[in-house]
């Protein structure tokens, strides 16, 4: 229901912006919106799967930056792109396994486990590896980096291709795999899913590994475009809130159990249109953050009333 409302609001915004803003309703601007939304879509896919299982990953942006930083360090050390990428994937899988283990086996609430993980990752990279610096260069002259920021075909960039691939993989995971179906059962009623013998612990590991890999993909997309890895994205940015906003606006309730790839697309459409319109209207960053914060609060309140908790499925300490 919330997703339908958001879709209507997005359509109305597009009409208003097309009438009032010169250059909004052009093919060139559409390409800009699509390209700028690639990393947000990829991150939202990871967060959507986590929230569907009634979890939360507050370390997603820290993982995104750390994954890109690891790739950059390996590239700068002289490793070939494929080797550096494979080693980075292994590192991110380890991060996802640690998050999943803390939640599934140590039974630490997901919010606390991933918040601690985010602080640990950020502190480790900034002070032990970057020596307090915020920026790490990612050389665009490297073939692997230039590939990530380039185009496969005219009009089809690698970031857009990665976005589409992530959407397909997420859809397949949720629809056809055992972890995907178990994630819905966990979100609907975690205790019932565990008592019926579903592999909830293994599924939790798979879910957080998947989220870590989406964070890596998004990090490579962002850093290859700018040529830098910026840890201020973690400390000063609002990207994490945008990702949560996308998921909630798309109609995935914070208590989990429903939603999918279509929900992600609906949420991203509103945020992308709103962000693009505000940028073309020359709104300041602070004003944009205020408006997005108001939208997030409205979405959470709407989610509370459209998807109320009930005593049968409610569980203390879900997040």
Write down the pLDDT at residue 218: 95
Write down the pLDDT at residue 133: 76
Write down the pLDDT at residue 306: 67
How buried is 47 (Cβ within 10 angstroms: 0-12 exposed, 13-18 middle, 19+ buried)? Answer: buried
Write down the pLDDT at residue 289: 78
Closest CA to 218 of 94, 79, 37, 34: 37
Ordered alpha helix ranges (H), the chain: 2-20, 27-36, 38-52, 60-76, 81-104, 110-123, 143-148, 158-176, 178-188, 190-195, 200-226, 232-235, 239-249, 261-280, 285-306
The ranges assigned to domains in the chain are 2-306
Write down the pLDDT at residue 315: 46
Q: Which fold has domain 2-306?
A: ABC transporter involved in vitamin B12 uptake, BtuC (1.10.3470)
Q: Could you read off the pLDDT of 266-315 as tens digits, one per residue?
A: 989 988 888 888 888 888 877 877 887 787 677 667 766 766 655 444 54
Number of Cα atoms under 13 Å in the Cβ half of residue 152: 8
- In the chain, which residues have pLDDT < 70? 1-3, 237, 296, 299-300, 303-304, 306-319
Place of tokens 């994937």: 89
Closest CA to 16 of 273, 295, 294, 302: 273
């Amino acid at each position: 229901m919330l997703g339908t409302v958001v879709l209507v609001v997005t359509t109305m915004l597009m009409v208003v912006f097309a009438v009032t803003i010169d250059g909004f309703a052009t093919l060139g601007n559409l390409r800009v919106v699509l390209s700028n939304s690639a990393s947000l879509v990829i991150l939202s896919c990871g967060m959507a799967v986590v929230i569907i299982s009634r979890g939360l990953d507050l370390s997603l942006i820290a993982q995104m930056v750390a994954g890109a930083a690891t790739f950059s360090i390996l590239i700068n050390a002289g490793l070939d792109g494929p080797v550096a990428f494979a080693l980075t994937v292994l590192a991110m899988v380890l991060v996802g396994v640690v998050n999943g283990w803390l939640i599934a086996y140590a039974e630490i609430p997901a919010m606390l486990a991933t918040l601690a993980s985010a602080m640990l990752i950020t502190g480790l990279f900034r002070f032990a590896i970057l020596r307090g610096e915020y920026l790490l260069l990612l050389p665009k002259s490297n073939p692997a980096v230039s590939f990530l920021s380039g185009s496969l075909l005219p009009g089809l960039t690698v970031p857009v291709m990665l976005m589409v691939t992530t959407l397909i993989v997420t859809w397949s995971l949720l629809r056809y795999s055992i972890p995907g179906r178990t994630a819905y059962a966990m979100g609907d009623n975690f205790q019932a899913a565990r008592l019926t013998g579903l592999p909830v612990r293994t599924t939790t590991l798979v879910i957080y590994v998947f989220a870590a890999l989406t964070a890596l993909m998004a990090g490579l997309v962002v850093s290859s475009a700018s040529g830098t890895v910026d840890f201020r994205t973690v400390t000063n940015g609002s990207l994490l809130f945008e990702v949560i906003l996308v998921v909630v606006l798309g109609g995935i309730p914070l208590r989990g159990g429903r939603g999918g790839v279509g929900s992600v697309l609906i949420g991203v459409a509103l945020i992308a249109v709103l962000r693009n319109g505000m940028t073309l209207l020359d709104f300041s960053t602070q004003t944009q953050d205020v408006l997005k914060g108001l939208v997030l609060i409205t979405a959470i309140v709407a989610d509370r009333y459209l998807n109320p908790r009930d005593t049968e499925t409610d569980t203390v300490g879900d997040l």
